[in-house]
Amino acid sequence: MSKPLKNPQISGRTASLFWQGERAPQVISDLHGWEENPQAMTQAGSGLWRFDFDLDEDAYIEYALVDPESRRRLRDPLNPRRVYNGMGAYNHNFYMPGAKASPLTRVPKGGLRGKVSRHTVPAEYVSTSKTRRVYLYQPPAREAVPLLAVYDGMDYFKRGKLTEIVDNLILQKRIRPIALAFLENAGKARMVEYACAETTLAFLMSAVLPLAAQEIKLVDHEKTPGAHGILGASMGGLMSVYTALRLPQVFGRALSQAGAFELWEHETVTLELVRHAPRPQVKLWLDCGKNDFLLEANRRMNGLLQEKCYDFTYRENGGAHNYNTWRDNLTPGLEALFGDA
């Protein structure tokens, strides 16, 4: 008796999706620009259809199946693994044999050692709303700790599992205890808010940092310049590097994941600051998926940071532009920036 068909079927670099039916759906994915470039499946037998991905061994991919006429998404009955894409829909996903999900996303045995609290801060001048949510994570530590502020904080809190990862890393003594401030973004105005906006820096300094200092015993950045860190992905990654370049005396460590350093082939001011401004005392970590549409922009930033002798690390991974990729690659960046336990 033959084994039941499952998606994907992997042989070497080829990951094959199958569909059983009279007609096939189209495939949209990380590799093909999603809805802008749907891919046709080919007939592989009577009532059987196939689509092949050519992937590196360490790849992680998200995809969906869509009806060619209605453009409606269809469930893949051969792959139960799905993840929310943050835009009202779910993607199917899979790892190639050389990749796996981070084991640090599980809540430690006995529960989180740190404490999570929810707060509301005024945000009239930076947002269309009068207030903004901020979640704080206080680590299990008596000493003063640095703060890692997180752009797109609600996504990193829920989808990126950052609290669990940090709690585990502290427990395993792989990083020093750090506090976290998860910042809610501006929703539809997020692109503007994170496009190297000075109002966002003002909000960070006047609302978020004072709140964190009131609730948690933080390292004094005036006595220890650059003690705090900043994290973000995509536009948030751009904004995290911009924050470190503009406020190095406070946020001297920045972690950017798939930073949007170029927008529609237009260089952002962050590249110009690296190219022309005096080099500040900052430590940067940049990573990007090899299947991410922002890969070339990140490679150009890597070259420029090398040319200007910045203290930084640049890594490429097998993922694409999604939170599972960013979640699974947080650990080495956190260890590089806060491993001085």
pLDDT tens by residue, 97-144: 999 999 999 988 888 899 999 999 998 877 777 899 999 999 999 999
Average pLDDT in the chain: 95
Query: Which tens digit of pLDDT belongs to each residue from 16-64?
Result: 999 999 999 999 999 999 999 999 999 999 999 999 999 999 999 999 9
Query: Which tens digit of pLDDT belongs to each residue from 173-212?
Result: 999 999 999 999 988 899 999 999 999 999 999 999 999 9
CATH topology of domain 9-95: Immunoglobulin-like (2.60.40)
- Per-domain residue ranges for the chain? 9-95, 103-338
Q: pLDDT grade, residue 1 (50/70/90)? A: very low
Which of 277, 285, 262, 265 lies closest to 308 in space, CA to CA? 277
The token pair that represents 191 in the structure block: 């692109």
CATH topology of domain 103-338: Rossmann fold (3.40.50)
Whether 330 has a pLDDT exceeding 60, the answer reads yes
Q: Which residues contact 210 (CB under 8 A, 6 or more apart)?
A: none
Question: What percent of the chain shows pLDDT beyond 90?
Answer: 91
Q: Is 153 within 8 Å of 135 (Cβ atoms)?
A: yes
- The DSSP-derived string for 185-200 is --GGGHHHHTTT-HHH
3-state secondary structure of 195: coil
CA 95/CA 57 separation, integer angstroms: 9
Q: pLDDT grade, residue 3 (50/70/90)? A: low
CA 172/CA 183 separation, integer angstroms: 26
